[in-house]
């Protein structure tokens, strides 16, 4: 029951976040786009929430691009939260490109552990977009 409530809460927050971010547009400026695909030995999927067996190695392919004709992507960050704790930064990079694609490998935690990964990209206009992946190890 508790896992269902956590799952529903995470999905609800992700949907609200997508609507909030998609409505952020300033003048002719546009937020960058970002998406990911998750891959393990047994599954290739695009959900924002999975329940992987404990200690499973999984790979997340992150792809981001600028929108509009002006500006470049300037920042990329990965943060992780375990069991609702404060985010810890895994990567904080300065980039200078129109498009960005990269693979990152992680390991599922112990049974019942909830790991939330937040991927954020920013452009030269100071606009950001984030996506979240949540895994509850089983």
Kindly report the backbone phi and psi dihedral angles of residue 113, in degrees, each rounded to the nearest multiple of 5, phi listed first.
-75, 130
pLDDT at 49: 75
pLDDT at 135: 92
The DSSP element (H or E) to which 73 belongs, if any, is strand 73-82
Per-residue tens of pLDDT for the chain, all 138 residues: 455 444 444 444 444 444 444 444 445 558 999 999 988 876 676 667 778 888 989 999 999 999 888 789 999 999 999 999 999 999 999 999 999 999 999 999 998 999 999 999 999 999 999 999 999 988
Kindly report the backbone phi and psi dihedral angles of residue 130, in degrees, each rounded to the nearest multiple of 5, phi listed first.
-130, 150
User: Under CATH, which number does the domain 2-136 receive?
Assistant: 2.60.40.3880
């Amino acid at each position: 029951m508790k896992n269902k409530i956590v799952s529903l809460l995470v999905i609800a927050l992700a949907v609200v976040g997508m609507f909030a971010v998609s409505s952020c547009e300033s003048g002719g400026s546009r937020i960058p786009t970002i998406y990911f695909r998750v891959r393990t030995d047994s599954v290739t999927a695009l959900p924002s929430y999975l329940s992987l067996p404990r200690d499973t190695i999984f790979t997340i392919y992150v792809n981001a691009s600028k929108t509009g004709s002006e500006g470049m992507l300037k920042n990329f960050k990965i943060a992780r939260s375990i069991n609702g704790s404060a985010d810890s930064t895994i990567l904080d990079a300065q980039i200078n490109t129109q498009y960005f694609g990269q693979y990152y490998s992680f390991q599922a935690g112990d049974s019942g552990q909830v790991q939330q990964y937040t991927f954020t990209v920013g452009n030269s206009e100071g606009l950001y977009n984030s996506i979240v992946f949540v895994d509850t190890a089983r």
